[in-house]
Amino acid sequence: MPTENVPAQLVHESSDIQLNDYDVLSKVREATNSPSPLARLLQEPAVLESLSRGQHKKKEGKRSSRSPHREHRSPFIMALAIAEEERQATHLKALLGNTADRLEYEIHRAEEASGRAQYAERRATEASGRANAAETAKREAEAEAVRREHEAKRYQMQLEGVERELKRVKDEMRRLEKRNVELEESLEQTKEACRKYKTALRDHQIREENREENRQLRMESCFNDGRNEGWDSGYAEGYEEGREDGFEEGLRKGRKEGLREGRERGRNEERKNALEAFDRFLAEETNGHDNNRRRWAQSIYHPDTQSLSELSPTSSPASFRS
């Protein structure tokens, strides 16, 4: 049997007992307050008539004296019976009064017990409500705990994933840093190699330019010498015969050679200016080491230039051609 149904059953039983007690108590009160049998007997018309008849006979008995003992026996017995009945009725009324008081006391106790039962029922209902609320709160707390546990596991998995990703990113960063260092070293090596190649190329260009310049100077010197020699010999042999033709040919060749010489001189000056600008740039880059190389290169080719300048102007064209 559920515990919450016991107080309700007790209340219903106590209410039934209380109703029955009130019925019995009303009956007892009615019996206690009812007239005694003697009063009811005296209120009956037949008894009143017999009493009045007895009194009338008593008045007549004074006049006749026939069987006096028989006439007085019936009223005496009746009086004894009535007295006994009155005594028993009084005793029963006293018992009924005590019973009514006891019943009223018990009813009061039953009412108190009913009140206590109702209070206990309310307390039980409240306790049941609190228990249900506590049970509901417990279930909610358990569900919340399970949800929090699942969330904690999910966050733990996410944290582990983030840690793995962070480790991978760190490894990638270290690899990239190492690659960057290698690339920087390779870049430095490439720059150094480029500087070396530029220096070598510059030295080669300087040597080639000096060779070309020396060759041009040699060719010009030989041409001038040959032209002068040819002109002198031609002038001496055919001054008169080919004066006009020689003049025209000399003018044509002189113009042509002058134009060529002007162009060569302009090229040489431009090349010289370019070399000087390039040397200044290289001097800023290499702290002037290339100037030493250039002077060294010029010192190598300088004797050839001196030898060309020291060539005899009277050299024959045949020797130049050889």
Q: Which residues contact 130 (CB under 8 A, 6 or more apart)?
A: none
Do 109 and 216 fall into the same domain? no
Q: Which residue has the higher pLDDT, 219 or 183?
A: 183
Domain annotation covers residue 217? yes
Is 85 a member of any domain? yes
- The torsion region of residue 36 among left (phi > 0), alpha (psi -120 to 50) and beta comes to beta
Distance between first and last Cα of the chain: 145
| Nearest by Cα to 176 from 184, 162, 192, 104 | 184
In sequence order, what are the residues at sequence separation of 6 or more whose Cβ sits closer than 8 angstroms to the Cβ of residue 225? 311, 312, 313, 314, 315, 320
Is residue 93 included in any domain, yes or no?
yes
Model confidence pLDDT, tens digit, residues 29-54:
665 566 555 556 556 666 556 655 55
My answer on whether 141 and 14 are in the same domain is yes
pLDDT (tens digit, 9 = 90+) per residue, 60-97? 444 444 444 444 455 666 777 777 777 877 887 788 77
Domain end call among 87, 116, 149: 149
- Per the domain annotation, does 63 fall within a domain? no
105 lies in which domain range?
3-58+70-149
Same domain for 312 and 209, yes or no, is yes
* One domain, residues 108 and 17: yes
Is the pLDDT at 21 greater than 60? The verdict is no
Assigned token pair, 202: 């510059």
More confident residue, 121 or 78: 121
- Please write the tens of the pLDDT for every residue from 262-283: 778 777 777 777 777 767 766 6
Number of folded domains that form the chain? 2
Q: Is residue 25 part of a domain?
A: yes
Q: Among 117, 133, 149, where does a domain finish?
A: 149
Q: Is residue 174 part of a domain?
A: no
132 and 269 fall within a common domain: no
Same domain, residue pair 9 and 110: yes
Q: Identify whether residues 17 and 85 lie together within a single domain.
A: yes
Report field, pTM of the whole predicted structure over 0.75: no
Q: Do 215 and 105 share a domain, yes or no?
A: no
Dist CA 208 CA 210 (whole Å): 5
Q: Domain end: 109, 134, 149, which one?
A: 149
**Amino acid 163: pLDDT:** 92
Quote the mean pLDDT of the chain.
Answer: 71
